[in-house]
Amino acid sequence: MRGRALGIGTRAGAALLTVGVLAWLPQYYGATDTALFAKAIYIAIAALGLNLLTGYNGQVSIGHGAFFGFGAYATAILMNDHGWDFLATLPVVAVASFVVGAAVGFPALRVKGLYLALITLGLAALFPDLVTKYVHGTGGTTLVQPPLPTSPGWAQGFAPNDDQWRYYLALTIGIVMFILAWNLVRGRFGRALLAVRDHDAAASTIGIDLARIKVGSFAISALYAGIAGSVGVMVTGLANAGRVETFQLSINFLVAVVIGGTATVLGPVVGAWTFVFLERATQDLFPDQALLSPAIFGVALILLLFALPDGIVGGARRTGRFARRKLQARRAPRAPDFPSPIREDRQ
């Protein structure tokens, strides 16, 4: 009991320290780096949702860039054409993304594995065409540029540095989404996700509704991606549905999940920050090499996954378990060394 309380206290202290560091970052760094930090946050939100679907439920998706774009365009159009405040668009985006995710999840009930990946790939390919047909943005293109949110009247201290206000807003949304995911995977729904992933037939025999769990995981995952798209618009001031951008975002979310560690709540967050800063580091090393920088970035990702096949969080847990076993082995009392009970007449 004492050890459990100590572990909870340690985790709570680490969480508070992490939030404190994240809150301090924009006070020290400039607007460019602050925007990079905010990018890591909205990628982490999308990766959290994808991890619920892929890591916990075992359904592979490479089309979450479409859900991200859906949330981005919904927020951008409501702000740009209807004068909505950014925060007011979030509930609408959440509900709409949930419904769209559920609609995509129903066809996915009959397929799994690579076949499901192909379906979501088709979704990512279809989304830019739908946007081109129905969205008319700046200069007749699909680009929609809503006004960047500024600090409200009660937070005039951020007025000269609205990039800090947008970062803190993104951080707050990210913390809320992280806590929701944390509670979700530790409840009955989270245990059902793992059961369906490990053996859906066995899960069905114990009363788990496979359709509800699979469609629900798709819907919740899409909700996270849609909210991430809204945060992305708030940070960048741009909604774009280029085919390359949609595919790239889908791959980025999946890479963040794998780097950080699947089936862990902290993994996608760590993976998103690692992905963003590793990408930035390779670009800074070769600023004039448009082709060499992505190649070095890809090699760095391969080496990272080779060293940590279960992700950064998984590797850290494995190292911690190994260290605890070694420590317990050292603390364990040794058996006394008694002399051999061999009688002299047998020698």
137-155 pLDDT, tens per residue?
876 778 899 988 877 766 6
Give the tens place of pLDDT for each residue, 222-267. Answer: 999 999 999 999 999 999 888 888 999 999 999 999 999 998 999 9
Measured between alpha carbons, how far is residue 179 from residues 22, 73, 133 in Å?
Answer: 16, 26, 38
- Find the angle CA(191)-CA(214)-CA(199) to the nearest 5 degrees: 55
Instruction: Classify residue 332: in a domain, yes or no.
Output: no
How many other C-beta atoms are found inside a 10 Å radius of the C-beta of residue 157? Answer: 10
SS3 339: coil
Instruction: Classify residue 335: in a domain, yes or no.
Output: no
pLDDT confidence of residue 154: 63
Instruction: Classify residue 22: in a domain, yes or no.
Output: yes
* Mean pLDDT to the nearest integer, 70-97: 95
Instruction: Classify residue 25: in a domain, yes or no.
Output: yes
Dihedral-angle region of residue 286 (phi above 0 means left; psi in -120 to 50 means alpha; beta otherwise) = beta
Which amino acid is residue 212, in one-letter code?
Answer: R
Q: Which residues pair with 190 in a beta bridge?
A: none
Asked if 85 and 267 touch (Cβ cutoff 8 Å), the reply is: no
Q: What is the pTM (predicted TM-score) of this model? A: 0.91
Instruction: Classify residue 339: in a domain, yes or no.
Output: no
Phi, psi of 47 (to 5 degrees): -65, -35
Give the tens place of pLDDT for each residue, 11-37. Answer: 788 888 999 999 999 888 888 999 999
* Mean pLDDT to the nearest integer, 267-282: 92
Asked if 208 and 49 touch (Cβ cutoff 8 Å), the reply is: no
Asked if 225 and 68 touch (Cβ cutoff 8 Å), the reply is: yes
Q: Which domain holds residue 33?
A: 18-327
Instruction: Classify residue 32: in a domain, yes or no.
Output: yes
Which CATH number belongs to the domain containing residue 282 in this structure?
1.10.3470
Tokens of 252: 């980025």
Tokens of 184: 């979700």
Q: Going by C-beta distance under 8 Å and a sequence separation of 6 or more, which residues neighbour residue 263?
A: 51, 55, 56, 194
| Mean pLDDT over each residue of the chain, to the nearest integer | 87
Tokens of 115: 């076949």
SS3 225: helix
CA dihedral 151, 155, 159, 165 (to 10 degrees): -50
3-state helix, strand, coil in the chain (%, to 5): 80, 0, 20
Overall residue count recorded for the chain in this entry? 347
Give the tens place of pLDDT for each residue, 291-340. Answer: 677 777 888 888 888 888 889 998 888 888 888 888 887 776 665 655 65
Instruction: Classify residue 338: in a domain, yes or no.
Output: no
Number of domains in the chain: 1
Separation between Cα atoms, residue 44 and residue 254, nearest integer Å: 11
Instruction: Classify residue 242: in a domain, yes or no.
Output: yes
- Find the angle CA(47)-CA(261)-CA(192) to the nearest 5 degrees: 75
Asked if 43 and 276 touch (Cβ cutoff 8 Å), the reply is: yes
Contacts 24+ apart (CB under 8 A), 3-9: none
